Structure 1
Amino acid sequence: METKPTEISSSKMFGGYNKRYKHFSPTLGCSMTFYIYFPPSPSSSSKFPVLYWLSGLTCTDENFIVKSGAQRAASSEGVALIAPDTSPRGLNVEGEADSWDFGVGAGFYLNATQEKWKNWRMYDYVVKELPKLLSENFPQLDTSRASIFGHSMGGHGALTIYLKNLDKYKSVSAYSPIVNPINCPWGQKAFTNYLGSNKADWEEYDATFLISKFHDVSATILIDQGDDDKFLHDQLLPHKFEEACKNANVPLLLRLQPGYDHSYYFIATFIDDHIRHHAQALSLK
């Protein structure tokens, strides 16, 4: 089993390179792919801070790299982009592909506790395995300077991972995140299956709940949400998170963007703002 990453594709873009890698993940028990966008290097000794992107339901590691246009700003800001997949693949667990919002392509960035879904450990993969793999195999990356962002299910992942690991990430942002999964159908379905019926376990992966426990968030959390997003009112619930941040005195910039939907057109429109938000935090020593 090759745990070291093998390069499987490379494409030049804005002076840097999109490189895709494959490796065997002991955490997930299967082969995984991920992308790194390396910005152009001013010198052979320069090290780039890293910005992790977590994608949403149905996505792979490719969606963000192909559709977001993030590389232009990442190139000019000198930030490496890391885009992992959204779930384990190829395990052929019964029912893993029965619906688009659970199982394959829907890992929810948690560690499942139910035996059937024991390989669904995307939280450990993103927080522990991947950073270690990057620091051991890519000397041009400075994994000690890291930030995280994501979309929808990935926005949920970015916010919860950030809040539980304030020592590991300099900043967080999200597009249309699932901020209160214990109170929406997507979250309830995923959490019931992955975590069982104990609601206390669910709360560990709910950003709105977690905010109340963390009063030492100093960096402003940036969230962009389209007001024409069809999932806004029943799945995403940003105002619940806004209220929780207000109560906990956590700095939040929630921008409701008129006319925008849930798609990558929306993500691409505001991506430069997000890259700059993180580049600024990553440049602070």
Structure 2
Amino acid sequence: MSVEKLSSSLCHGGDQQVWRHDSRATGTKMTFAAYIPEHEEGAKLPVLWFLAGLTCTHENAMVKCEYKKAANEHGVIVICPDTSPRGEGVADHEDYDFGQGAGFYVDATQQPWQPHFRMRSYIEDELPEVVAAALPVDMDRQAITGHSMGGHGALTIGLRNPGRFRSTSAFAPIISPLNCPWGEKALTGYLGDDRQDWREYDSVALIEDGARLQNVLVDQGSADEWLEGQLKTHLLQDAVRDAGLDWDIRMQDGYDHSYFFVSTFVAEHIAWHARHLKV
């Protein structure tokens, strides 16, 4: 396994690192950010996976999310992966919401995307192996979160893998790709026209099909410009209510879709995750 540390910077007492490795899932080099809190030598720390949204690389959350102070305070490693494969020979598209930077955390089955766009396998299977080998993580104490497309990723990965994560949260997630233009475009392109194949990548559909998940927190800004047309938080509220799930879905008055919104509540999310991760 070829893993290379690209950078390391002291921040809030911990170490903000960037790593690169050769990925068997995507067939490309992949880069991820890792914040390592202060800790005693030999200690293993819980890990929070932060999945980013459309157009993002590993840098967006690392630079804009302001998670480091809270992560160091609570002793939680934060991993920020890229959102898609990149590089020479990797298919792309001129639109911001499809192709590189818009992997949607699926394993593509359609050409020309199938050879490299395998972000489900990368996030669910390969990256945890890489992180466990390179960093002082306790893989029995994992949590996951994400923003927008990354919130979609966090919720669907959590629902498909019950028991893996102690807690799951999301900021302004894309709730139902089956029912929004972003999702319809991406899933048609990556998975084909059979909408039945999309259901494992849709939070509402997964809940309707019997998936269950505990310890879930969702924050959504009421002034988010994408709320009505793309995010559709009400669909998740309905699905959770109908399934009898005890999820905390909060509307935050006046907040938009940006990292200003995420950075306002990220420390609260980390503290919430830490309570579950320390059990």
Q: TM-score, normalised by structure 1?
A: 0.95
Deviation of 1:270 after TM superposition, in Å, equals 0.5
> Which residue does 1:81 correspond to in 2?
78
Q: 1:247 maps to what in 2? A: 242
Counterpart CA distance in 2 for 1:215 and 1:128 is 20
Question: Structure 1 residue 176 and structure 2 residue 158: aligned?
Answer: no
User: Where do 5+ consecutive residues of structure 1 fail to align?
Assistant: none
Q: Which residue of 1 aligns with 2:103?
A: 107
Counterpart secondary structure, 1:115: coil
> Could you tell me which amino acid in structure 1 is paired with residue 106 of structure 2?
L
* Structure-to-structure mapping, 1:50-61, within 5 angstroms: 50-61=47-58
- Contact persistence 2:175–2:232 (CA under 8 A): yes
Contact 2:158 2:213 in 1 (8 A): no
Please say if 1:204 is aligned against 2:200.
yes
1:93: Cα distance to partner? 4.1
Identity between Structure 1 and Structure 2 (%):
45
Residue 37 of structure 1 pairs with residue 35 of structure 2: yes
Report the counterpart of residue 22 of structure 2 in structure 1: 24
Residue pairs, 1:120-269, within 5 angstroms? 120-138=117-135, 140-214=136-210, 216-219=212-215, 221-269=216-264
In 2, the alpha carbon distance for the partners of 1:158 and 1:123 equals: 11
Once the 2 structures are TM-superposed, how far is the Cα of residue 170 of structure 1 from its aligned partner?
1.0
Closer, same or farther in 2 for the Cα pair 1:106/1:215, shift >3 Å? closer
Distance in 2 separating the partners of 1:29 and 1:91: 11
String of CA shifts for 1:118-177, please: whole Å, max 9, x gaps. 111101100100001111222x11122111000000000000000000121111000110
**Alpha-carbon deviations, 1:156-212, whole Å to 9, x = none?**
000000000012111100011001110000000000000001111111100011112
For residues 137 and 99 of structure 1, do their structure 2 counterparts lie closer, same or farther at Cα, with a shift above 3 Å needed?
same
Q: Check the 8 A contact 1:227/1:261 in 2, yes or no.
A: yes
Q: 1:229 & 1:11 partners in 2: Cα distance?
A: 33
- Corresponding residue of 1:8: 6
Q: Closer, same or farther in 2 for the Cα pair 1:282/1:57, shift >3 Å?
A: same
Two-structure CA RMSD over aligned residues (Å): 1.1
State the shift of 1:91 in Å. 4.0
Q: After superposition, give the CA deviation of every residue in 1:20-63 in whole Å (9 maximum; x if it has no partner).
A: 0011111001011101000001x112110100000000000011
SS of the aligned residue for 2:57 comes to coil
Structure 1 residue ranges, 4+ long, deviating more than 4 angstroms after superposition? none
Count of residues in Structure 1 that have an aligned counterpart in Structure 2: 278
